Chain A
Amino acid sequence: MIVAERKPMEEILSMIEDANRILVLGCRGCTTVCCAGGPKEVQELATLIRMNRKQKGTTVETLEASNELQCEPQSVGPLLEKLADQFDVILSMACGAGVQTIVKSFPDVRVLPALNTNFIGMAEEHGVWTEVCVACGDCLLGRTAGICPMTRCAKQLLNGPCGGSMKGKCEISKDVDCAWQLIIDRLTRLGRLEVLEEIYPVKDWSAGWHRGPQKIVREDLTS
């Protein structure tokens, strides 16, 4: 999932300083799962905003709502068509894609992000998320026993480990696992270590995040 975190209240409050009617809009997708922008967090944020205004002796009108998936125009459209013009600001609690989906569908509405979008991650346990994918566009997990060196190796080595791997840890920190140690351990377990004898060729970075904005078009799905 996309893992995000709420921005500091100070930053949010200063962004919405001049707004008196605020739609706090959550997303029931990734940001609900990572406990950053689901209905619960929407309620929390809206309450904090109202409490802040009450402290200042001013009033604010908030509406708390959530989309199924804010990155889908079909999910955003029906709700916002009715509501958009009634608010000064839409404070989105989705990821950056959600914010921009609203921006694209409602060019006249002011949309602000309440979250910082951090990474593509997995839940280690409730309340702990780790980055596991950098969306490089050229997945090599099939060769690395399902452990991503693009994300987890500090040098993004394709033929690791480097000489800094010690006792399973990366040279950059004793708190960081050496991705290549993990890869070797897992391949050993699977009895497939020999796949690493071969030199992995240079990476095609043009498929991934070094390339400017990407787009995928599926001819069979477009109208």
Chain B
Amino acid sequence: MNNFEPLIAVFSCHYCSYAAADLAGSSRIQYPPNIRVIKIPCTGRVSVNHILKALECGADGVYVAGCLEGTCHFISGNFKAKQRVQYAKNLLSEINMEPERVQMYFMSAAEGAKFANVAKEMTETIRELGPSPLGQNKSE
């Protein structure tokens, strides 16, 4: 049995996914306790270095949760985030780490259930991949 509990950092946009997380909470929708939500004003603020630092500091996975395509409060922040997530994935491949540890998701503030599902999906993905090869997660 796999009892590894991943630690996952979520860069969550104030205008959509962060509100979706609130909605999930008030709607009593369960989601895994593995995620650590970091609220940001827009996913366009997330840099490649933020993602890398999260992994270096012990996260087994990182995802960025931004607004649905075309609905970014700052017009194109979520697209920028998507490109940077892809770039970060390429960097991970370059040092032989699984690029799947970093993902981009899109959701609206009304999608509490989707927030929960994404958290579940990501937790499962990382559980499958196992602990970060940087070897800092002691919860194993």
Q: Which residues of A contact B (CB under 8 A)?
A: 8-10, 13, 40, 43-44, 47-48, 50-52, 54-55, 57
Contact = CB atoms under 8 A, between A and B. Distances in A.
B139 interface: no
B39 interface: no
Contacts of A50: 56
B49 to A, nearest CB: 5
Given A44-B49, A55-B96, 7 more contacts: A40-B47, A44-B52, A47-B52, A47-B53, A50-B56, A54-B136, A55-B133
Contact of B95 (A13, A40, A43, A57): A13
A47 B133 CA distance: 14
Contacts of A47: 49, 52-53, 56
A55 B52 contact: no
12 contacts: A40-B47, A40-B49, A47-B52, A47-B53, A47-B56, A48-B94, A51-B95, A51-B134, A54-B135, A54-B136, A55-B95, A55-B97
Contacts of B55: 51
Contacts of A57: 135
A109 B111 CA distance: 57
A91 B54 CA distance: 24
A118 to B, nearest CB: 19
B19 interface: no
Nearest to B48: A44
A8 to B, nearest CB: 7
Interface string B105-140: 000000000000000000000000000011110000
Contacts of A51: 52, 55-56, 95, 97, 134
B91 interface: yes
Given A9-B95, A47-B56, A48-B95, A55 B134 contact: yes
